[in-house]
Amino acid sequence: MKTFLRILGALVIVGVVALLVFIFWPVSRSAPTQVAANAPEPAEHGEYAMRLADCAACHTAEGGEPFAGGRPIESPVGTIYSANITPDPETGIGGWTLAEFRGALIDGLDEEGHHLYPAMPYTNYRGLTETDIAGLYHYFIEDLEPVRNEVPANDLPFPFDQRWGLRAWKWVAMPDVGFASGATSDDPIERGAYLVEGPGHCGACHSPRNTLFVQDGYTASDAGFLTGGVIAGWTAPALRGEDSAIAGWTAEEVAQILGTGRNAHAAINGEMALVVEDSTQYLTADDLMAVSQYLVGLDGNGANRGQEQGTPSGGLAERLLDDPATQTERILASADPGMPEGARLYLDNCGACHFVDGKGADEVFPELDGSSIVQAGEPTGLISMILHGGALPSTEARPYALRMPGFADRLSDDEVATLASFLRTAWNNEASGTVEAGAVADMRSEEGG
Amino acid sequence: MSHPTYLNTTRRGFLGGTAAASALALGDRAQAQDAPPLEEYTPEYLSAAEWAFVMAATARIIPSDGAGPGAIETRVPVFIDLQLAGDFGNAADLYMEGPFKPDAPDTLGPQSPLTPAEIYRGAIERIDAACTDEYGNVFADLDPTQQDEVLSALEEGPSTSGNTPDMAEDAGGGAPNTDGSTAFGLTPELKEFFSLLVQNTKEGYFADPMYGGNADMAAWSYIGFPGARGSYAEWVGREEDYPLGPVSISGERA
Amino acid sequence: MARTDTKRDVVIVGLGWTGAIAGIELAKEGLDILALERGPDRSTVPDFKYPDVIDELRFGIRYGYMQRPKKSTLTIRRSLDEEAMPYRRLGSFLPGDGVGGAGIHWNGQTWRPQAQEYRLRTYVEETFGADAIPEDMTIQDWGVTAEELEPYYDRFEYMAGISGQAGVVNGETIEGGNPFEPNRSRDYPLPPLAQQPDSLHFADVARQMGYHPFPRPAANASAPHVNEYGMQLGPCNYCGFCARYGCLNYSKSSPQTCVLDALKRYENFNYRVNSEVLRVNLAEDGQTATGVTYWDAEAEEEVTQPADIVILAAYSIHNVHLMLLSGIGEPYNPQTGTGTTGKNYSYQMNGGTTMFFNDRQFNPFVAAGSSGMSINDFGMEQIDYAAEGFIGGSYMTCGHSNGQPIRGIAVPEGTPNWGADWKQAVGEHYGHSTSLGSHGSNMSYRDCYLDLDPTYTDPHGRPLLRLTFDWKDNDIRMTQFMRQRIEEIVEAMEPDSWQSSYKEDGATYDVRPYQTTHNVGGAIMGESPQTSSINRFQQAWGQHNVFVLGASSFPQNIQYNPTGAVGALAYWTTDAIVNQYLPNPGPLV
């Protein structure tokens, strides 16, 4: 008995010591990697690196000063407020050394060695080149004016407010430091891989996460990488595999949607609109094509519908007066009063812009036939779009902030559900499961505020 | 692999509060479906006598017999009452500065110092008085033949206000110029009454139901107008009857 | 209360088509620009949002997008000795209100005048002799030529995404287009709109009669379009709610769909709404403008806005009103024929024949604003003025631009205006009628002009503009000539019945029924300061830093809808400002 207690006591002591060591053992920052020989000067490169890494998306609050932080980010465990990353010495990152700055980007540590919450995508930034890190550092420390802005404290319950717990999370989640492929390669696929997997941190939204919140893969060789995630109730669609939202798109079409927010198939809205607005529209034509070629080279993608589109010789009316290609189009074009309610709701609410063939119009009205948002596993994005509409970002090449009005004031919950269910199997769409009115009611009240 | 919610930044700001206005149109639809019978309607502007006049007059302007609904089934009097109570009745958009020359040529446009609501009030009072003198009863209590006689006399009397169809937009003709003497003691200030009444009756018959008339979109169904669908690219050049019934702005379907 | 704001390089009065074009072209040059719009801001969503905009009562009948006479109107008389009465309720024409101006609520009919229309007086004198021009007719040359303006028409049409079929490209006549149009350098940017059965029937008959039918050129996109600013149009869905409405579908060319979001990206461009310009301020010597004074409705105060360049881009009659109020140019005197500001107001001489086809179905609600088939065989260059006894011409179109029921369902002559027979008639004839209309020129005359009203004032206490205008024999003869041609075609189309409506001898101008919002002239362009307000670059003769854009520049009205010419002239002028005026400010002529 005594022995047992002694052993137990020893174990407790070992455990406590281990815990204390776990909590208090100093963190270490990764060492710098090689700087490329032909790297641009940080002063020239800084702003572009900031665009590549899309720092504005999280570090600028709505209506706030750029990069002064304070944007609320809802996580499953509570609200995290993004940091002020202007060079203000008290409320921002003024006075941080390059090593400390690098530590935040690739090790998830602040200047005092505290662990950062993984709302900061350091697991993705871990592959950043020294050139991009130096550029970012220069931009935030030298180019920006300091803005004094005390951001609110995070609103997290115990135990999630204990940052030391993140050390264990990082053991599980962190990939190796340093980028394997050629970040500065002339090969567009290699350059594209760097941009997507590293600074672009596309995987942060477009990859699934496990129950520990760990991103499922960080590079193309990981099977789960870019197979789709959920963000703010919206599906961040898969960009590879059988459900890929860009299946069949040409690299040019991918480049177009990233550069302008729109292409012949789809229009960007929601969170991705902010990405286009703050980041991808600023990519050089070469980088945009590199990203696009990398993406269309992933499994499940490739331009197999490229020739289907193209400018028709006649106008819209000629297109619609051709023999209907689908049963759905045949029903809609008949204007038969006996058509199902979903079809009738489509004609009375959607057909004006998306037309009876569900093909919309290039760069203006997105296709609903084949749309990833329409057929997403979870219909929340589709319901939200019907209820509240959406808006395209204004970009240099396509300045028009086209908007779709919401139909919350015209359609009841039942009608939205009937319409959404219709859309999910209309034309060539093949989503499973009907949409229930209850799901609509939840979104209406949630969004109605 | 589950899909926990990740970065839930708020984006609702730029979607512009569509939800705040929500249920407004849906409310209109519910209201339209539960509207009280015409006899139980409490007018916003018209007095009881004026309401009786408008009920009787619109019932002759668009009668209920024959094909198609009449003004009564489509609740045109409600439309007129609501219009007179609102911006239209109050001349909210019109230039109402003097001096007024109500007897100026009709072709120079309405010059009455009175608002449309005041024109209705003044004209109905005089017409009822004249009907009482002539027939021994106010207009609403006359038989339909007598009512038609009165309306015809009003039409012959003061001029029309030129509400000719403008089917061929930017290629239309002029209106008949029919300056006439006033009938039923209608002074020049009131001479536009009959043309307003006919115009407003047709407006109430064919306007979106949210304005109180065109109940159940029956007038649209009657002529074959699909209402607020606004989407016919697949019908251009097709010479066949368009079979689908109308939809209203609030989403009512027929 | 009053304030003075910091000086700008350019102030633009009005943010419709011409204000938007001037704004973006000068913003590109880096100039500091302020546009002042007296109406509210407007954009597709929420202002023209589907389905709220499909509201005939609110917008088609109560004129929800138009200027409210309470805030802004004019007085009208038909002759020098008639007392002008206020235009208290909108009728004959409908000036637009707010950002986008009339550019939001037009039908989109977009034409290029024939070459001789720009040199009309010279053409008539050369071809038919000076005697062909009646004594009281004051037609003039514009000072520009079709060749000079061609690149600017091309630019406007590609910017606005016009759907059509070219008739003459680089001297070559193209089958299916308008063979009488002036030479163009390339085809329209978009294919023509599809047509309804009534229009196609007309085209067949017209072709058999030896005429040359073509699809009416339309600012309703037949297919998606991206313009030089990266702005986009979606294809028109033939919703049947075009004129008087903003487009719910991003399909109708407008400042909103074609310019504004691109313009708003320029940090050196700003605009203020609910800001009505009260006058243009002139330097003490009167030789230049120093800026404008406007009423800031939000702050409820008068604001003096200094500027180096003042561009008047308001609706035509309001440009003239501001010039009269500000002392820009000498007011026109109809007795002596001297002075220029307010001179040569003209309108549009239209007429039409309605046809009833009891057994045909035209579904009139399936319509684009500018759908329809036209012929131009009786255009201004096709008519022998000496033989016919009038100066003028027209184009003719068969088709619908809408099937809205309150605005009018055609019923056969003799049908009562109310009662059981009326109800039966609208039920029987809706969808079974069509019209063939003549859209014709209107000459300018010595006693058709604009000045300030001696009696009536606006909410700012300024005298209202006064319009003196009536129909004249020359133009009535023109429309009666067109009537005969049209009725010949109508008979060949074999309707069950038909009826005509054209101005006849003795017709007087009736301000009540809607006719057209093509009010032109009053600040006309020309070759000499004695006979015109502005030079060939739309620059004021007397104040070189004032430019006046819009149909107020037309010395007489063309046979076509004016927007094409208004847009081309706006590009022509901004080009002259950028390439000639900015390097060397001063009179360009």
pLDDT in tens, A130-165: 899 999 999 999 999 999 999 998 888 887 788 877
Cβ pairs bridging A and B (under 8 Å): 155
Domain that holds residue A288: 189-296
Amino acid occupying residue C278: L
Contact A444 B8 (CB under 8 A): no
Whether residue A250 is found in the same domain as residue A366: no
Q: Which residues contact C565 (CB under 8 A, 6 or more apart)?
A: C111, C112, C113, C551, C554, C558
> Is residue A138 part of an annotated ligand binding site?
no
Whole-angstrom Cα distance, residue A261 to residue A426?
Answer: 25
How many domains, chain C? Answer: 1
* Residue C494, Cβ density class (10 Å: 0-12 exposed, 13-18 middle, ≥19 buried): exposed
Contact A75 B23 (CB under 8 A): no
pLDDT digits (tens, 9 = 90+) for A260-273: 999 999 999 888 99
Whether residue A276 is found in the same domain as residue A194: yes
Q: Which residues contact C164 (CB under 8 A, 6 or more apart)?
A: C110, C177, C188, C190, C192, C214, C215, C216, C217, C218
Query: Rounded mean pLDDT of A295-320?
Result: 73
pLDDT of residue A75: 78
Contact B19 A449 (CB under 8 A): yes
Whether B240 and chain A come into contact, CB under 8 Å, resolves to no
Q: What is the mean pLDDT of chain B?
A: 84
Least CB–CB distance from C194: residue in B92, B211, B236: B236
Whether residue A149 is found in the same domain as residue A212: no
Q: What CATH number does residue A258 fall under?
A: 1.10.760
Q: What CATH number does residue A327 fall under?
A: 1.10.760.10
Contact B61 C418 (CB under 8 A): yes
Q: Nearest CA to CA, how far is B62 from chain A (Å)?
A: 28
pLDDT of residue A177: 64
pLDDT of residue A259: 96
pLDDT digits (tens, 9 = 90+) for A370-429: 998 999 888 988 999 999 999 999 999 999 999 999 999 999 999 999 999 999 999 999
Torsion of CA C504, C506, C508, C514, to 10 degrees: -10
Query: Confidence class of residue C316 from pLDDT cuts 50, 70 and 90?
Result: very high
Least CB–CB distance from C234: residue in A365, A397, A399: A365
Contact C39, B71 (CB under 8 A): no
Whole-angstrom Cα distance, residue B72 to residue B65?
Answer: 11
CA nearest to C500 within chain B? B173
Is the pLDDT at C241 greater than 50? The verdict is yes
List chain A residues with CB under 8 Å of C191: 313-315
Residue A42 vs residue C75, higher pLDDT: C75
pLDDT of residue C319: 98
Whether A310 and chain C come into contact, CB under 8 Å, resolves to no
Whole-angstrom Cα distance, residue B56 to residue C257?
Answer: 48
Whether residue A216 is found in the same domain as residue A253: yes
Residue C588, in any domain of the structure? no
List chain A residues with CB under 8 Å of C190: 315
Whether C238 and chain B come into contact, CB under 8 Å, resolves to yes
Is the pLDDT at B15 greater than 50? The verdict is no
pLDDT digits (tens, 9 = 90+) for A83-120: 999 999 999 999 999 999 999 998 999 888 888 988 89
* Residue C530, Cβ density class (10 Å: 0-12 exposed, 13-18 middle, ≥19 buried): exposed
Contact C224 A318 (CB under 8 A): no
pLDDT digits (tens, 9 = 90+) for C512-559: 999 999 999 999 999 999 999 999 999 999 999 999 999 999 999 999
Whether residue A253 is found in the same domain as residue A223: yes
SS (H, E, C) B178-197: CCCCCCCCCCHHHCCHHHHH
Residue A7, in any domain of the structure? no
Range with the lowest mean pLDDT among A24-38, B85-99, C168-182, C226-240? A24-38
> Is residue A354 part of an annotated ligand binding site?
yes
Whether A405 and chain C come into contact, CB under 8 Å, resolves to yes
Residue A256, in any domain of the structure? yes
List chain B residues with CB under 8 Å of A75: 5-8
pLDDT of residue A233: 65
Whether residue A223 is found in the same domain as residue A258: yes
Q: Which of B105, B236, B251 is nearest to B178 (CA)?
A: B105
Q: Which of A265, A296, A327 is the last residue of a domain?
A: A296
Residue A134, in any domain of the structure? yes
Whether residue A55 is found in the same domain as residue A173: yes
Contact A76 B4 (CB under 8 A): yes
Contact B249 C502 (CB under 8 A): no
Whether residue A222 is found in the same domain as residue A283: yes
Whether residue A326 is found in the same domain as residue A422: yes
Q: If you ran DSSP here, which 8-state letter would residue C368 be given?
A: -
Q: If you ran DSSP here, which 8-state letter would residue C75 be given?
A: E
How many domains, chain A? Answer: 3
pLDDT of residue B12: 32
Q: Is the peptide bond before C51 cis (omega within 30 degrees of 0)?
A: yes
- Best of B28, B54, B170 to mutate (most C CBs within 10 Å, chain C): B170
Q: Calculate helix-pair angle for B116-135, B144-156, nearest 10 degrees.
A: 120
Query: Rounded mean pLDDT of C436-456?
Result: 98
List chain C residues with CB under 8 Å of B240: 361
Contact B229 A348 (CB under 8 A): yes
> Is residue A114 part of an annotated ligand binding site?
no
Q: What is the mean pLDDT of chain A?
A: 88
Whether B251 and chain A come into contact, CB under 8 Å, resolves to yes
List chain C residues with CB under 8 Å of A405: 45-46, 49-50
SS (H, E, C) chain A: CHHHHHHHHHHHHHHHHHHHHHHHCCCCCCCCCCCCCCCCCHHHHHHHHHHHHCCHHHHECCCCCCCCECCEEEECCEEEECCCCCCCCCCCCCCCCHHHHHHHHHHCECCCCCECCCCCCHHHHCCCCHHHHHHHHHHHHHHCCCCCCCCCCCECCCCCCCCCHHHHHHHHHCCCCCCCCCCCCCCHHHHHHHHHHCCCCCHHHHCCECCCCCECCCCCCCCCCCCCEEECCEEECCCCCCCCCCCCCCHHHHHHHHHHCECCCCECCCHHHHHHHHCHHHCCHHHHHHHHHHHHCCCCCCCCCHHHCCCCCCCHHHHHHCCCCCHHHHHHHHCCCCCCHHHHHHHHHCHHHHCCCCCCECCCECCCCCCHHHHCCCCHHHHHHHHHCEECCCCCCCCCCCEECCCCCCCCHHHHHHHHHHHHHCCCCCCCCCCCHHHHHHHHHHHHC
List chain C residues with CB under 8 Å of A318: 194
- Best of C407, C423, C468, C500 to mutate (most B CBs within 10 Å, chain B): C423
Is the pLDDT at A310 greater than 60? The verdict is no
- Decide if the complex's ipTM is over 0.85: yes
pLDDT digits (tens, 9 = 90+) for A200-223: 999 999 999 888 888 999 999 999
Whether residue A49 is found in the same domain as residue A174: yes
Q: Nearest CA to CA, how far is C494 from chain A (Å)?
A: 28
* DSSP H helical ranges for C304-432: 316-326, 385-388, 420-429
pLDDT of residue C299: 95
| C-alpha pair distances (Å), C448 with each of C439, C443, C469, C470 | 20, 10, 5, 7
Q: Which residues of C are catalytic?
A: 518
Domain that holds residue C39: 2-581
pLDDT digits (tens, 9 = 90+) for B199-221: 999 999 999 999 999 999 999 99
SS (H, E, C) C429-496: HCCCEEEEEEEECECCECCCEEEEEEEEECCCCCEEEEEECCCCHHHHHHHHHHHHHHHHHHHHHCCC
Query: Rounded mean pLDDT of B159-166?
Result: 40
Residue A303, in any domain of the structure? no
pLDDT of residue C153: 98
Contact A274 B3 (CB under 8 A): no
Torsion of CA C483, C485, C491, C497, to 10 degrees: -10
Residue B183 vs residue C571, higher pLDDT: C571
Is the pLDDT at A448 greater than 50? The verdict is no
Q: Nearest CA to CA, how far is C368 from chain A (Å)?
A: 11
Amino acid occupying residue B232: Y
Token look-up 């809802």 returns A74
Is the pLDDT at B34 greater than 80? The verdict is no
Q: Nearest CA to CA, how far is B22 from chain A (Å)?
A: 4
Is the pLDDT at B101 greater than 70? The verdict is yes
Q: What CATH number does residue C337 fall under?
A: 3.50.50.60
List chain A residues with CB under 8 Å of C261: 394, 399-401
pLDDT of residue B167: 37
Whether residue A325 is found in the same domain as residue A439: yes
Contact B232 C366 (CB under 8 A): yes
